Amino acid sequence: MKIQKILLGDKMEKILQKKTLPDWVNKLKNYQIIAPVQNENHWDFQILSDPSRIKLDYKNTILSPKKFIFPQREVFFRFRSDEQSSYDLQENLPEEKPAVIFGVRPCDARALTLMDKVFGGDMQDPYYWKRRNATILIGLGCNHPPSENCFCTSVNGSPFSREGLDIMLTEMGDTYFVESISKKGEQLIRQAEALFKNPKEADKSEKKQLKSRAEKEISRKIPNIKNIPSKLETMFDSDFWNEESLSCIRCGICTYLCPTCHCFDINDEIKSNFPIEGERVRTWDNCQFPDFTMHSSGHNPRPDRAARLRQRILHKFQYFVKLYQTYQCTGCGRCVSQCPVGIDIIEILNKVDAR
Amino acid sequence: MKSNDYVPELARIIDIKEEVEGSRSIKTFRTNFVNPNGFSHRCGQCAMLSVFGKGEAMISISSTPLIKDYLQFSILKTGRVTTALHEMNPGDIIGIRGPYGNGFPIDDWKGKNLIFIGGGIGLAPIWSVLQTALGKKEEFGNLTLYYGSRTSADLVFKEELEKLKSEMTVHLSIDVEEPDWKGYVGFVPANVTEKSPSPENAISITCGPPIMIKFVIKALQDVGFDDRQIYTTVENKMKCGIGKCGRCNIGHHYVCKDGPVYSWAELKDLPQEY
């Protein structure tokens, strides 16, 4: 398994009428179609049972589509004791149909490129890559910031970043401006070529204007982000972490919602004690929980809220930068918007800069 | 490399030896793979052991790579998986994946005097490098062991330690006085300070409870050891063993893959969070 290389095809630029989006989707019979679906008070990515009901008029989803590549719970293998008191182990690599995810926000697509670094490297994670390589990402550029806490432009992103995407859609009135980014994306457009028209020069210039306007509309910023990693290096023992984490109720929503957080747990779940039968399961885990790092002796290297908040910030803005030369954050703002006690990563980083 | 590192190989427990009894009991397990698979480790590396139905625990391999007949693990009964291991019998099947981690740079230590310093179960990670050095004695200088535990009953490898006395210098210690105890009484760092080993052409390898390691390092520095002459092994809670699950990190280092062996020169520059 090699790290997926984006095969660059001829860049295609097309116009698609919004009302013909379901027709395109209907042509993609070999894929599961995943798109945002409206629940009571939020949108969430789901596998569409009726792909013709696809709708992309949403702001952002409560969770990023990361769960389709790195699910919250997955079975690594099944074990069962046999008559010789040995075990039969059944590897359980993903077998899902290839998927196309529609309407991925650029920050969430970039987040997957960061996750690729973690699950790639010397030790490839076969479960991750099986799904990752079988998933096509169709982005939806952000004409307006979907959230008041968007800050992608501060962390090397943009409302129209293409990183990680195979196709980019830009909403323009009754149409989408459609651009292929990868070979996979190009092939997806070719499967329904008759639905697409060629753009006029006016369409192209409108798209450019949208982009620069969108960037200007982002109000939340970390102006001196470049200074942050080196400043953090000097702040490990600072009382700052104690002050900033006082209100934390260790609910873990910040990392649960984060499109780049990858920490996980591995546990056995048993169905029967005799014969011993069960599954080894990977689940998302959370660095904000006290037992995340607690040794079985009771010793805990990160014994309090301060140490755990520090880990979250330092992992994203110091350790990850050291390992991969990029921040482990794409500025989606979910952790800021959903924190029940108002812990605000943008504010924290700006305070670090001011120190 | 295996294509799926998360699925362990099956191994059979061939021998279990009770080292320490009581509430902090320690047993030494020897295992053989059910299907030979070319598993080979370096001194100081670890393996992830599975008790199916209970889960996994990262354990250092205490046998020397010079022995090909079995893998040995000395395990303190402390959590869910280690408790389940302590309830197992010879013939039972466990899972093993690995080996993980960097191991000791023993090839760089040829011709040097090696000073091993262990506390409690901390002798286990040192044991593989100590046995390797003993097995290739002509390649190294003087070998010395400092080893201590709370009481004489808590010492691991008691029989082996007796035999060891004829092959290398052994300084044993216990924390509190006992009748008939002929060794040192007091903590391991104090024993090191008293014997005051020479740093000349020496490497020290220490493992034990975090607090012991801290004071051993200080004791070694006090008698003139350079930070590059002091090696230790670190342990943190681990799940994946391959630097992905995100919990064993010390700064940007993942102990499972970048450790567990560090020179103090390396470790002192990382956040002190272990």
pLDDT recorded at residue A9: 46
Distance CA A249, CA A251 (A): 6
Q: Which of B55, B93, B239 has its CB closest to that of A268?
A: B55
Residue A4 lies in a domain: no
Nearest CA in chain A to B100: A123
* CATH pick for B9-100 out of 3.30.2130.10, 3.40.50.2000, 2.40.30.10, 3.90.226.30: 2.40.30.10
Same domain, A282 and A172: no
Distance CA B107, CA B85 (A): 33
For B49: left if phi > 0, alpha if psi spans -120 to 50, otherwise beta; the answer is beta
Decide if pLDDT at A2 tops 70. no
pLDDT recorded at residue A4: 46
- Structure token digits, residue B207: 């493992």
Distance CA A238, CA A76 (A): 40
Domain locations along chain B: 9-100, 106-233
pLDDT recorded at residue A271: 94
Distance CA A224, CA A46 (A): 37
Residues in Cβ contact with A167 at an 8 Å cutoff, skipping those fewer than 6 apart: A136, A137, A138, A139, A178, A179, A180, A181, A182, A185, A188, A189
pLDDT recorded at residue A84: 73
For tokens 């629940």, name the residue.
Answer: A39
Decide if pLDDT at A319 tops 50. yes
Q: Which of A93, A263, A299 has its CB closest to that of B210?
A: A299
Tens of pLDDT along chain B (274 residues)? 568 999 999 999 999 999 999 888 999 999 999 998 889 999 999 999 999 999 999 999 999 999 999 999 999 999 999 999 999 999 999 999 999 999 999 999 999 999 999 999 999 999 999 999 999 999 999 999 999 999 999 999 999 999 999 999 999 999 999 999 999 999 999 999 999 999 999 999 999 988 899 999 999 999 999 999 999 999 999 999 999 999 999 999 999 999 999 999 999 999 988 8
Q: What ipTM is given for this predicted complex?
A: 0.93
Residue A337 lies in a domain: yes
- Structure token digits, residue B88: 């197992």
Closest CA to A218 of A272, A148, A310, A271: A148
For A141: left if phi > 0, alpha if psi spans -120 to 50, otherwise beta; the answer is beta
Residues in Cβ contact with B246 at an 8 Å cutoff, skipping those fewer than 6 apart: A262, A263, A264, A285, A287, A315
CATH number of the structural domain B106-233: 3.40.50.80
For A232: left if phi > 0, alpha if psi spans -120 to 50, otherwise beta; the answer is alpha
- Find the mean pLDDT for residues A170-186: 95
pLDDT tens per residue across span A180-204 = 999 999 999 999 999 999 999 999 9
Same domain, A27 and A172: yes
Decide if pLDDT at A5 tops 50. no
pLDDT recorded at residue A180: 96
Distance CA A213, CA A218 (A): 9
pLDDT recorded at residue A328: 98
Closest CA to A80 of B93, B133, B205: B93
Contact (Cβ atoms closer than 8 angstroms) between residue A103 and residue A170: no
Q: Which residues 1-20 of A are in CB contact (within 8 Å) with B?
A: 1
Distance CA B239, CA B248 (A): 8
**Residue numbers in B near A319 (CB within 8 A):** 249, 251-252
Q: DSSP of A167-225, one letter per residue?
A: EEEEEETTEEEEEE-SHHHHHHHHTTGGG-BPPPHHHHHHHHHHHHHHHHH-----TTG
Q: Would the CB atoms of B239 and A302 count as touching at under 8 Å?
A: no
Same domain, A204 and A161: yes
pLDDT recorded at residue A52: 85
Give yes or no for A236 touching B (CB within 8 A). Answer: yes
Same domain, A46 and A126: yes
Same domain, A189 and A233: no
pLDDT recorded at residue B160: 94
Distance of CA A68 to the CA centre of its chain: 10
Q: Would the CB atoms of B53 and A278 count as touching at under 8 Å?
A: yes
Percent of chain A that is helix, strand, coil (3-state, to 5): 35, 20, 45
pLDDT recorded at residue A10: 60
Residues in Cβ contact with A42 at an 8 Å cutoff, skipping those fewer than 6 apart: A61, A62
pLDDT recorded at residue A8: 46
pLDDT recorded at residue A1: 41
Distance CA B207, CA B121 (A): 9
Residue B3 vs residue A165, higher pLDDT = A165
The secondary structure of residue B226, as a DSSP letter, is -
Residue A144 lies in a domain: yes
Within a 10 A sphere around the Cβ of B23, how many other Cβ atoms?
Answer: 6
Same domain, A339 and A238: yes
Distance CA A323, CA B250 (A): 13
Measured between CA atoms, how close is B107 to chain A, in angstroms? 24
> What are the DSSP E strand ranges found in chain A?
13-17, 32-38, 43-47, 73-81, 87-91, 99-104, 135-140, 167-172, 175-180, 264-273, 276-284
Distance CA B243, CA A289 (A): 19
Decide if pLDDT at A332 tops 50. yes
Q: DSSP of A231-268, one letter per residue?
A: HHHT-TT-THHHHHHTT-----HHHHH-SS---EEEEE
Amino acid letter at A62?
A: I
Mutation site for A-interface testing, chosen from B52, B234, B250 by largest number of A Cβ within 10 Å: B52
Query: Of A175, A194, A217, which residue is a domain's last?
Result: A217
Same domain, A169 and A266: no
Backbone angles phi, psi at B234, to 5 degrees: -110, 145
Distance CA A289, CA A193 (A): 50
Mean pLDDT over each residue of chain A, to the nearest integer:
94
- Find the mean pLDDT for residues A341-351: 97
- Find the mean pLDDT for residues A67-71: 97
Domain count, chain A: 2
Measured between CA atoms, how close is A79 to chain B, in angstroms? 7
Same domain, A55 and A142: yes
Closest CA to B23 of B62, B59, B76: B76
pLDDT recorded at residue A246: 96
Same domain, A208 and A231: no
Same domain, A209 and A341: no
Q: Which residues 123-182 of A are in CB contact (within 8 Å) with B?
A: 123, 125-127
Decide if pLDDT at A215 tops 70. yes
pLDDT recorded at residue A322: 97
Query: Of A217, A233, A266, which residue is a domain's last?
Result: A217
Mutation site for A-interface testing, chosen from B1, B6, B212, B236 by largest number of A Cβ within 10 Å: B6
pLDDT recorded at residue A7: 47
Distance CA A113, CA A116 (A): 5
Nearest CA in chain B to A274: B53
Among chain B, residues having any CB pair with chain A shorter than 8 Å are: 1, 3-8, 10, 34, 50, 52-57, 78-80, 82, 91-93, 95, 210, 235-237, 239-240, 242-252, 257, 271, 273-274
- Find the mean pLDDT for residues A286-308: 94
Q: Which of B4, B34, B237 has its CB closest to that of A293?
A: B237
Q: Would the CB atoms of A285 and B247 count as touching at under 8 Å?
A: yes
Domains B9-100 and B106-233 share a fold: no
Query: Of A217, A244, A275, which residue is a domain's last?
Result: A217
What is the reported pTM?
Answer: 0.94
Residues in Cβ contact with B162 at an 8 Å cutoff, skipping those fewer than 6 apart: none
Structural domain that includes position A296? 225-354
Residue A187 lies in a domain: yes
Distance CA A235, CA A238 (A): 5
Distance CA B25, CA B21 (A): 5
Give yes or no for A323 touching B (CB within 8 A). Answer: yes
